[in-house]
Amino acid sequence: MKLHNRTYLALSMGVGIFLSGCAATHHTSIMPRADGSYDMVSTDSREDDAYKNAERDAEDYCKQKKKEFVAMSHDSKYQGVDKKEKQEVGATDVAMAWVTGSSHKNDRSDDYKVTMHFKCEE
């Protein structure tokens, strides 16, 4: 294999690994409470996605226990940068969008935090 081909292959693999790491935009955590209920915390770049992920992961958690998911309450909080600043586009944003396909200002995985209180019932 020529050096040029090896360099191209290595560069392609590096970009692929980098982009696959950027693809995950949400994170969820489950915390048990003393009364047997749970809090699910989900973060995402969009509020509705954070809520959907929290609900889906809580339902899956209850299914694993062979129980039914029951939502008790939920709360949403915006914790990203100032929304006006987020909408301003600069040269760095254009370059990032060109390389990755999305601007980092519009794709922060922790902009919205949803906390869902739920229980799993038989």
Residues 74-109 have pLDDT tens digits of 999 998 877 666 555 566 666 666 666 555 555 567
d(CA 95, CA 103): 8
Report DSSP state, residue 82.
-
Cβ neighbours of 52 (radius 10 Å): 15
Burial class of residue 111 in the structure, from the number of CB atoms within 10 Å of its CB (0-12 exposed, 13-18 middle, 19+ buried): buried
Check residue 51 and give its pLDDT. Answer: 96
d(CA 96, CA 118): 38
Claim: this prediction has a pTM higher than 0.75: no
d(CA 32, CA 40): 9
Task: Give tens-digit pLDDT for 29-63.
Answer: 999 999 999 999 999 989 999 999 999 999 999 99
Check residue 82 and give its pLDDT. Answer: 72
CA distances from 40 to 17, 32, 59, 64, 93 (A): 29, 9, 11, 15, 32
- Higher-confidence residue of 97 and 116: namely 116
Check residue 18 and give its pLDDT. Answer: 43
